[in-house]
Structure 1
């Protein structure tokens, strides 16, 4: 049996029963509903506290390892865990708590671009960057939507994976979804004044752009940049890192893409920002496994 269909039948029967109850019974129903809402809010509060406590534990561990060069690999693993829990913490936590942990550089460029163009595309080299930057924007009251695979939002999936997209509208896609349909869905939302966040290391069916930067052969994808060009909205590069146990979010300037040649220029700019990031943050994300995915062998 289809669980959604069964759930609809149950709710339909309940609605019919409630409709035939006498008026004096309605306050009792309202009290039950209020109790359920309080219970749900407590569950959300417990999740937020859980993420906050785990985040603080990992920050404390990173502080202890900071003065120990021999434990560099361990510190890198701890920082990755910090970023993972930050995904779930940022959308849940009040802004005043988030500001104590996050250092947003250039976030005013995002709000300015939205006021000027109506919508923007927030794009990172990979998912960790764009997820964290978009989660901070959602925390500050700026809605975003993104591409999402249905299995990533399943109930059985781990909690932090689901909370990455808390407050964001998910455009569900599968490996069988035509690439043109994906771009069309994104284009419609941008033209409707909605913000989109994505990353340039993968959309299903997208052609890979290969280019060399500082002796490395990058393999990136430019579908989201093409959509921004067609919609006439700017692209804002973003990145994230851990420094001194703070989450540093970097929001780049709004870049207008008017020609296909400018698409590759933006990709090169994102690649250069990653190389500079890797030089300055040797213990932070991304891992070497990810590096092998985005570029080929050293030329």
Structure 2
């Protein structure tokens, strides 16, 4: 299958490059997501069988002051890609986020649950979802949560960096979600793309998050335990760690619909072991 990937160095794009050595990967120099027309032109030029948008504006707090730019990158450009993909008959895979929900309650959010993002990043990603659906082509919107890997900036790497110089770390304990390894997301994107090529009726919105659900504090404890660090974790509420962008307290995602693709929720602890081993090798 000929696959065109937007993104080259981010967490998901890096894992897709490993899983898909024959794919075409477009970094910012070749396809700037701040230019939706250029993104659409790239799809028409390469004429792939599947498009995976692994690039995004991911600076959640900075998006509060750059919402217009975030809306173009996360909203307008995916929509333009999807319209071009529909023109050439390609499958469109658009990763999205748990941040499209308001985080109310403690039940997992189903894919068809009403959206109500709390922050600019969530609004921009939701706009991308709307644009991809409106394009009318074969597609999957794959909402993921709490992505981590050995690459780029993420919670695991930050936790290890801080834990290396501190005896104790205060971490938010009232936000609950499913940490998700980027390599598992990459494999899921490719599995879904291949399935949709043969069964376009499965187009729609799906959730893919690691199991079991935990808090950021629980995630940090597991990271320290598995890395052998002696840093203790103190639970704090979100109110003790104010940020420019509001975060949902409940990021649990109902992933039951994945069975149509033969996919299950990955165990994030196994993914954490892989990341820690890779970081150890890198060191």
TM-score, length of structure 1 as denominator length: 0.31
- Which structure has the larger Rg? 1
- Higher helix proportion (structure 1 or 2): 1
TM-score, length of structure 2 as denominator length: 0.32
